[in-house]
Amino acid sequence: MKQNTLLALPLMSVALMQGTFASEAPSSAAAQSSPASRAVIAPAPEPAIVRPMARLKVSATVQLGKTADWVAIAPDAVWVGSTGPVAVNAIDPRTSRRIATVELPGKACAGLALGFGSLWVPLCDTTPKLAKISLKTHRLEQVFDIGPAAAEGGITTGGGSVWLIVDKAGTLARIDPENGTVRQTVHLPPGSYNPYYAEDRIWVTRADGSEITSVDAASGSVFKQVHTGPGPRFLSAGAGAVWTVNQGDGTLTRIDLAGHVPPRTLALGTPGAGGDITFAAGRVWTTFPKVPLSIIDPNTLALLCQWRGPGGDSLGIGHGAIWLTNYSAGTVSRIALSDIPKDCSRAPPEHR
């Protein structure tokens, strides 16, 4: 791709996938029912603007190690995982300088989560673990004898607990943030790995299938599953919806939080392993290796802009900036939100 050329990326059709949440009270048995779903093909949206990564203005880049992965935005720091050293690193968002490196007894492999004054880091090692790091002192406080089911999993906090999938059978553990004990286990479909807390529910994608399941964060009761694109992995929430990136076909699925609107799926052209997603500043943002940044309008489900080239894999947005990793280079870059082109921050003319 020539660095000074703008390209139009024709998108695949948008698929409207039908499926609703249970209208009755949640129950564990509900998770066993198969989601009815039929894909309805909608007209293809207008092409997005595709740019080379070299044209994306970067205000600072921080070298962290051999690799850099996972980002969490805290009130006073940006946390990023690394290998070489195996650690999590705190970056001062005002200066874009590293202010702490907390070495870990295992690789951060399944996301980062903030909650209860701590940073929670699932670790992959011979025996998986869970690390608890103080946001105040930037020190490793405890390592619990419970860990993630696999790499590229996730962790979330909410409803007074830490939530983590702990085996490939789909066991969701509710973990006490004080002592690391398991308060409750919830059985989800095998191959579910990534939980996310939103609207008093824990939403869990099934990477080995094409579904997302919601769990009542108060009781642990399971709601019906809803179809997504194939291989849903990472997820976020905002604008009245949960959003999943689907590694099976490089799509994005919108799931209505209230269950009133059928799920909708948009082609991003980003299939394969890795990637990340977040909702911030009124937009959905995704990153994948070689497609480091995509911006989606949540109201129109339009892919506004996309950057292609080296870098990408995980991101967070906060402190007025995008914090984007280049996994293989071991760096995280700061991109000011104010430097994103205006034609990428508003809906196309036909949607205004």
292-323 tens-digit pLDDT: 999 999 999 999 999 999 999 999 999 999 99
253-279 tens-digit pLDDT: 999 999 899 999 999 999 999 999 999
Averaged pLDDT, 86-105? 98
111-121 tens-digit pLDDT: 999 999 999 99
What residues contact residue 311 under an 8 Å CB cut-off, 6+ apart? 53, 289, 292, 324, 325, 326, 327, 329, 333
- C-alpha span between 106 and 128 (Å, rounded): 8
Instruction: Give the pLDDT confidence score for residue 337 in this predicted structure.
Output: 97
Does this model's pTM top 0.75? My answer is yes
Mean of all residue pLDDT scores within the chain? 88
99 contacts 89 by C-beta, under 8 angstroms? no
Instruction: Give the pLDDT confidence score for residue 349 in this predicted structure.
Output: 47
- C-alpha span between 47 and 348 (Å, rounded): 10
Whether the per-residue pLDDT at 12 is higher than 50: the answer is no
Instruction: Give the pLDDT confidence score for residue 47 in this predicted structure.
Output: 53
Instruction: Give the pLDDT confidence score for residue 224 in this predicted structure.
Output: 83
Q: Where are the domains of the chain?
A: 49-332
Whether the per-residue pLDDT at 155 is higher than 60: the answer is yes
Instruction: Give the pLDDT confidence score for residue 210 in this predicted structure.
Output: 97
- C-alpha span between 140 and 55 (Å, rounded): 39
* Residue-wise burial string across 312-326, b where 16 or more C-beta atoms lie within 10 A, e elsewhere: bbbbbbbbebbbbbb
- Residue 104 φ/ψ, nearest 5 degrees: -120, 155
Strands 302-308 and 48-52, bridge-based pairing? parallel
344: pLDDT confidence band, cut at 50, 70 and 90?
confident
Provide the CA 219 distance to its chain's centre, in angstroms.
Answer: 24
- Assign a CATH topology to domain 49-332: Methylamine Dehydrogenase; Chain H (2.130.10)
